[in-house]
A and B are shown apart, each in its own frame.
Chain A
Amino acid sequence: MFWINGFLNSFAFGAILFLLAVGFSLIFGLMRVANLAHGALFMLGGYIATSAVGLGFAGAVLVAGAACAVFGGILERTLIRRLAGRELAQVLGTLGLAFIIADQCLLVWSGDPIAQPAPEALRGAVGFGGIVFPAYRLALVALALVAFVGIWALVERTTLGARIRAAVDDREMARAMGIPVSRLFTTVFCLGAGLAGIGGALAAPIMSVYPGLDSEMLPLALLVVILGGIGSLTGALAGSLVIGLVYTFGQMLLPDLAYVILFLPMVVVLAVRPQGFFGRQAA
Chain B
Amino acid sequence: MPSDAALSFSALNAFYGDSHILHDVSLEVAPGRILALLGRNGAGKTTCMNALAGLLTSRTGRILLNGRDISAFSPEAICRAGLALVPQGRRIFRSLSVEENLAVARCPRPPDGRVAWTDEDIYGLFPRLKERRRHPAGLMSGGEQQMLAIGRALVTAPRVLLMDEPTEGLAPQIVAEVGGIVGRLRAAGLSVILVEQHMAFALKLADEVVVISTGRVVDKAPASAFQADPARLEEHLGVH
Query: Chain A residues in contact with chain B, CB under 8 A?
Result: 159, 162-163, 165-166, 168-170, 172-181
Chain B, range 87-104, C-beta contacts under 8 Å to A: 87, 91, 93-96, 100-101, 103-104
In the complex, the answer to whether B95 meets A176 with C-beta atoms within 8 Å is no
The answer for the CA separation of A162 and B102 in the assembled complex, in Å, is 10
The answer for the CA separation of A166 and B155 in the assembled complex, in Å, is 15
Residue of B nearest to A173 (CB): B91
In the complex, the answer to whether A178 meets B105 with C-beta atoms within 8 Å is yes
Choice from B74, B94, B95, B156 contacting A177 with Cβ under 8 Å: B156
In the complex, the answer to whether A169 meets B95 with C-beta atoms within 8 Å is yes
The answer for the CA separation of A170 and B95 in the assembled complex, in Å, is 10
Q: Is the C-beta of B80 less than 8 angstroms from some C-beta in chain A?
A: yes
The answer to whether A166 and B87 touch (CB under 8 A), given A178-B105, A179-B76, is no
Residues of the A chain whose Cβ atoms lie less than 8 Å from the Cβ of B55: 172, 175-176
Residues of the B chain whose Cβ atoms lie less than 8 Å from the Cβ of A165: 93, 95-96, 100
Min distance, Cβ B76 to any Cβ of chain A, angstroms: 5
The answer for the CA separation of A180 and B77 in the assembled complex, in Å, is 9
Known: A175-B54, A180-B76. 9 other contacts (CB 8 A): A159-B104, A162-B100, A170-B93, A173-B93, A176-B53, A176-B79, A176-B85, A178-B156, A179-B76
The answer for the CA separation of A274 and B78 in the assembled complex, in Å, is 41
Q: Mark B44-85, 1 if CB is under 8 A from A, else 0.
A: 000000000111000000000000000000111011100011
Q: Is the C-beta of B107 less than 8 angstroms from some C-beta in chain A?
A: yes
Min distance, Cβ A170 to any Cβ of chain B, angstroms: 6
Residue of B nearest to A170 (CB): B91
Min distance, Cβ B85 to any Cβ of chain A, angstroms: 5
In the complex, the answer to whether A177 meets B103 with C-beta atoms within 8 Å is no
Min distance, Cβ B92 to any Cβ of chain A, angstroms: 8
The answer for the CA separation of A166 and B94 in the assembled complex, in Å, is 8
Q: Is the C-beta of B152 less than 8 angstroms from some C-beta in chain A?
A: yes
In the complex, the answer to whether A162 meets B103 with C-beta atoms within 8 Å is yes
Query: Chain B residues in contact with chain A, CB under 8 A?
Result: 53-55, 74-76, 78-80, 84-85, 87, 91, 93-96, 100-101, 103-105, 107, 152-153, 156
Residue of A nearest to B157 (CB): A178
In the complex, the answer to whether A169 meets B93 with C-beta atoms within 8 Å is yes
Interface centre among B80, B93, B101, B107 (most CB of A within 10 A): B93
**What are some 11 contacts across the A-B interface (CB < 8 A)?**
A159-B104, A163-B104, A165-B96, A165-B100, A166-B100, A166-B101, A169-B96, A170-B91, A176-B79, A177-B153, A179-B105
The answer for the CA separation of A168 and B103 in the assembled complex, in Å, is 16
Min distance, Cβ A121 to any Cβ of chain B, angstroms: 41
The answer for the CA separation of A166 and B138 in the assembled complex, in Å, is 12
Which 3 pairs between the two chains have the least Cβ-Cβ distance? Answer: A178-B79, A177-B105, A175-B75
Min distance, Cβ A176 to any Cβ of chain B, angstroms: 5
The answer for the CA separation of A177 and B76 in the assembled complex, in Å, is 7
In the complex, the answer to whether B104 meets A177 with C-beta atoms within 8 Å is yes
Residues of the A chain whose Cβ atoms lie less than 8 Å from the Cβ of B152: 177
Choice from A163, A170, A178 contacting B107 with Cβ under 8 Å: A178
Choice from A159, A172, A176, A178 contacting B103 with Cβ under 8 Å: A159
In the complex, the answer to whether A169 meets B103 with C-beta atoms within 8 Å is no
Residues of the A chain whose Cβ atoms lie less than 8 Å from the Cβ of B85: 176
Residues of the B chain whose Cβ atoms lie less than 8 Å from the Cβ of A169: 93-96
In the complex, the answer to whether A176 meets B104 with C-beta atoms within 8 Å is no
In the complex, the answer to whether A174 meets B104 with C-beta atoms within 8 Å is yes
In the complex, the answer to whether B93 meets A174 with C-beta atoms within 8 Å is yes
The answer for the CA separation of A172 and B85 in the assembled complex, in Å, is 12
The answer for the CA separation of A174 and B152 in the assembled complex, in Å, is 11
The answer for the CA separation of A163 and B93 in the assembled complex, in Å, is 10
In the complex, the answer to whether B103 meets A173 with C-beta atoms within 8 Å is no
In the complex, the answer to whether B96 meets A178 with C-beta atoms within 8 Å is no
Min distance, Cβ A62 to any Cβ of chain B, angstroms: 30
The answer for the CA separation of A109 and B49 in the assembled complex, in Å, is 57
In the complex, the answer to whether B74 meets A179 with C-beta atoms within 8 Å is no
Residues of the B chain whose Cβ atoms lie less than 8 Å from the Cβ of A162: 96, 100, 103-104
The answer to whether A177 and B79 touch (CB under 8 A), given A159-B103, A166-B104, A172-B55, is yes
Choice from B76, B80, B93 contacting A166 with Cβ under 8 Å: B93
Residues of the A chain whose Cβ atoms lie less than 8 Å from the Cβ of B153: 177
Choice from B53, B91, B104 contacting A179 with Cβ under 8 Å: B104
Interface centre among A159, A162, A180 (most CB of B within 10 A): A162
The answer for the CA separation of A162 and B106 in the assembled complex, in Å, is 12
Min distance, Cβ A19 to any Cβ of chain B, angstroms: 26
In the complex, the answer to whether B76 meets A173 with C-beta atoms within 8 Å is no
The answer for the CA separation of A177 and B55 in the assembled complex, in Å, is 11
Residues of the A chain whose Cβ atoms lie less than 8 Å from the Cβ of B84: 177
The answer to whether A176 and B96 touch (CB under 8 A), given A159-B103, A162-B104, A166-B104, is no
The answer for the CA separation of A25 and B146 in the assembled complex, in Å, is 33
Residues of the A chain whose Cβ atoms lie less than 8 Å from the Cβ of B94: 169-170
